[in-house]
Structure 1
């Protein structure tokens, strides 16, 4: 393995260190889609968290121009002893190994220059990252991380410490921006989520053998299981026993499917777990109706679901709960239910939707290419301003 030890010079690439809350290879999210599209002038270090039961990159790996390395930190302390972190002294002591490991890889991979840019979406790193020397800092606000279940009380201080030092904010929704204590004068860019249009729109000739055996019509959901309204899925499956409900995607909660006893007992509900991103379009295109039965809560109401654009790029009809403004604004091509009863009742109507071209035209307007270009341009603009 060859590590770049050189420091930045006038001709050297721009270096970006990104502290992420999501592992690069676990779930395809906006971070991979955006960073993977940056131009050749960038060199990026992606610091991902440790998570039980998943593969890790204890030694750095390359993903295009991005170095990916796993560094355990505060978020990954087991819950049974996590209350110890309420004590600042213990929290600081438990932080040290992760900080030292992070600094080691930063130096070894050539990202130690104070000319670097530091980006953050994992606010557990907020206090540490705010003290690292750099050209400037930015926050990619893709979720309200203080609204996650079991969020420790001290985490707000870490977010505030980071926000007090940033020069640039990217946010997925105006509702999320309004919740953040951003100092006046900080430039804010509303940068939602998007889709690799051709990846989902190009017709797939092959279909999963497992899915081909499922009775049609197929009502499908593709995404993380943790935010799924399982009670609504159960109601839908019971109301339409002649339809098959297919669930695709990983769960952060260990043994999630085994714990869904009611869903397990329904013969028309099928769970296939995590599907590789490269294979996902073939599954989604096989849906007769794509579902978004997501929970409506403080966390999800500020979100911006990229599955909205993946579904519409695939051309399939979509039925969603009205849980965030991005969904509400997509009523021109998506069936949106304001209540759970309406969601169940609207299934046949949504199934009969034939506005394929309109859906794909809508999705085409939300390209990752355009979003990545906007982020890169904003970062370069700020970099040059501080270099002049």
Structure 2
């Protein structure tokens, strides 16, 4: 089976939902991963191989920090001309890589490919909605229109949360499902080395840990509040700063001796960082984006047997109140960090939650939906 995935992130960026799902697709599925162009990140206009995945860059853009670029992208005349050029470019790439023809599945998680995927022959078009497109700072004014078009053109829409599913069903209620994020359970549940990573070895316990990107939704003030009100803790943060708006916050908190920014780490090394901490946290602001997210980091923490402190951002989190620490506000968040440091977690219970949410099971759910859809379509012919 030939499968094309039109993505909003790069294949060689952080290990994301796309990577995990694709790696658990059936062995006989061959993948073409089409990534967007991103300022400051390496592009691959000549196709590259990574196992059974071929990845290539097409010049599709998301919102940027530059108002002029965003205005040009949103211009109707520009979009019309650009779509013609991009469609021809896409067809050339598909022909060159051996992915032309109609006997193929097409996934999209990038709404700005809507006018392209609509025109391509395919068995099924699947929209994997893993974020709320209008929830990002700098989102293009045309984002909602492309969100609507992507949903209407798709045969199957998959949302990572119940609230995102509600957004999708405003435009198209048929064949829409919730399949949240998951965890590479075997990686994170493996005990591994007992020694902490070298860059955490000198940081005294107790350690409160966060792994993930640092962007507009990250609550830097809450992190500062934790170290101010619990003077014995150190906070360790692993992950890249993907938004220019947070650089000042990172610099400000870097001056506090008990807050440690360790930068980006390979996905395979994250378990050792989690195990070196006493508590893991998800310190986000309440935004439309976060109210619709699915916290895969939570499952990674749980797979490692770590206590988790978070806010009641989503129904997915609220359902786990009896197993994790779920706060309603920042005061409760700090208080629950204190409690989690004093109470020993039942690691077996936490790991069972994570195991039920493995990426393998999530990928199998999607494959099952596709197979059922193909079977129904075959019977109708």
TM-score range, shorter chain: over 0.9
**Which among 218, 225, 228 is matched to residue 207 of structure 2?**
218
Distance 2:64 2:255 in 1: 34
Q: Is the 8 A contact 2:183 2:354 kept in 1?
A: yes
What is the distance in 1 between the residues matched to 2:358 and 2:21? 10
Give yes or no for the alignment of 1:105 onto 2:54. no
Note if 1:29 corresponds to 2:16. yes
Distance (whole Å) between structure 1 residues aligned to residue 83 and residue 275 of structure 2: 45
**1:91 corresponds to 2:79:** yes
Aligned to 2:7: 20
Could you tell me the TM-score, scaled by structure 1's length? 0.91
Residues 343 and 129 (structure 1 numbering): CA distance in 2 closer, same or farther, change over 3 Å? same
Q: Deviations over 1:331-351 (max 9, x none)?
A: 121101101111112222011
Instruction: Give CA-to-partner distance per residue, 1:53-103, whole Å, 9 cap, x none.
Output: 323333222233221112121326772322122321123334455444332
Superposition map of 1:298-377 within 5 A: 298-354=288-344, 355-377=346-368
Q: Is 2:32–2:53's contact at 8 Å kept on the other side of the alignment?
A: yes
CA distance in 2, matches of 1:241, 1:59: 52
Alignment of 1:201-350 (within 5 A): 201-205=189-193, 206-226=195-215, 227-254=217-244, 256-257=246-247, 259-350=249-340
Q: Deviations over 1:268-290 (max 9, x none)?
A: 00101111011111111111110
How far residue 182 of structure 1 moved from its aligned partner, in angstroms, is: 5.8
Contact 1:36 1:65 in 2 (8 A): no
Counterpart CA distance in 2 for 1:259 and 1:290 is 20
Per the TM alignment, residue 193 of structure 1 is displaced from its structure 2 partner at its CA by: 0.9
Does structure 2 retain, via aligned residues, the 8 Å contact 1:163–1:182?
A: no
Q: Distance in 2 between matches of 1:258 and 1:183?
A: 39
Indicate how the Cα distance of structure 1 residues 263 and 300 shifts in structure 2: closer, same or farther if over 3 A, else same.
same
Q: 1:187 aligned to 2:175?
A: yes
CA distance in 1: counterparts of 2:295 and 2:62, whole angstroms: 24
CA distance in 1, matches of 2:219, 2:18: 25
Equivalence for 2:44: 57
Q: Secondary structure at the match of 1:262?
A: helix
Kept after mapping to 2: 8 A contact 1:51/1:76: no
Residue aligning to 1:40: 27
Q: Compute the displacement of 1:383 (Å).
A: 2.5
| Counterpart Cα distance in 2 of 1:112 and 1:291 | 45
* Stretch moving more, 75-84 or 103-112: 75-84
In structure 1, list runs of 5 or more residues that go unmatched: 1-13
User: What secondary structure, in the 3-state scheme, does the structure 2 residue paired with 1:32 have?
Assistant: helix
Q: Distance in 2 between matches of 1:96 and 1:77?
A: 22
Asked if 2 retains the 8 angstrom alpha-carbon contact of 1:301 and 1:325, the reply is: no
When residues 183 and 97 of structure 1 are mapped into structure 2, their CA distance, relative to the original with a 3 A threshold, is closer
Whole-Å separation in 1 of the counterparts to 2:139 and 2:199: 38
Any gaps of 5 or more consecutive residues in structure 2?
none
CA RMSD of aligned residues (A): 1.9
Q: Indicate yes or no: 2:147 matched with 1:159.
A: yes
Structure 1 position 139 matched with structure 2 position 130: no
Partner Cα distance (1:294, 1:252) in 2: 15
Using the alignment, how far apart are the partners of 1:234 and 1:102 within structure 2? 47
Deviation at 1:256, TM superposition (A): 4.2
When the two structures are superposed, what TM-score results if normalisation uses the length of structure 2?
Answer: 0.93
Mapped partners of 1:147, 1:261: distance in 2: 25
The secondary structure found in structure 2 opposite 1:304 is: coil
Q: Is the contact between residue 219 and residue 246 of structure 1 (CA under 8 Å) also seen in structure 2? A: yes
2:118 is aligned with 1:127: no
